[in-house]
Amino acid sequence: MVEASVDVFVPYLTNLSGLLDRAAAYADAQHIDAAALLAMRLAPDMFNLTRQVCEANRHATIACALLAGQAAPATEETDADIPELKARIGRAVAFVRSLPVGAIQASADREVVFAFRSGATRAFTGRSLLLTFSLPQFFFHVTTAYDILRHAGVPLAKPDFLGPPRSA
């Protein structure tokens, strides 16, 4: 369970932080305000780049907290500049790394309850939360952040999304 949660979320959040570095460098090189990139979205009814980053953080921290049987920290979802978004990613990484490995490992068949913003709840096993809900949600938001930046002209390629090769 740790390999499928913390060990996936941490490197991809790190990669997301790297995408923001690339966005900042692009904004500087093109003499544009980085805030314009952060406000971009792929469609009018989709979240902007800032919110995509916030949602990726949210899904990683909530999933890991539920697996560990602990409360998740509040996710900051306000507008922010690139350094602040990177700091938020850093806090999310630190939080998921701080959780007890044993509790996460033991969560596969344990019931966990995800609470939606609306107040509705949905019960899962730890394994089903992770594999059918949290990981897909997380990767949707990380991928959408990447796609927004690519659409904006930031020179990114698949290795920027995937990050450095990891050993098995």
At 4-21, the pLDDT tens digits run 999 999 999 999 999 999
Whole-angstrom distance, CA of residue 113 vs CA of residue 128: 11
Global confidence as pTM = 0.95
What is the largest distance, in Å, between two alpha-carbon atoms of the chain?
A: 52
pLDDT digits (tens, 9 = 90+) for 50-98: 999 999 999 999 999 999 999 999 888 888 999 999 999 999 999 999 9
Using DSSP, state whether 113 is helix, strand or coil.
Answer: strand
Residue 48: closest CA among 63, 35, 32:
35
Helices (H), the chain: 6-30, 34-38, 49-68, 82-98, 101-105, 126-129, 135-152, 158-162
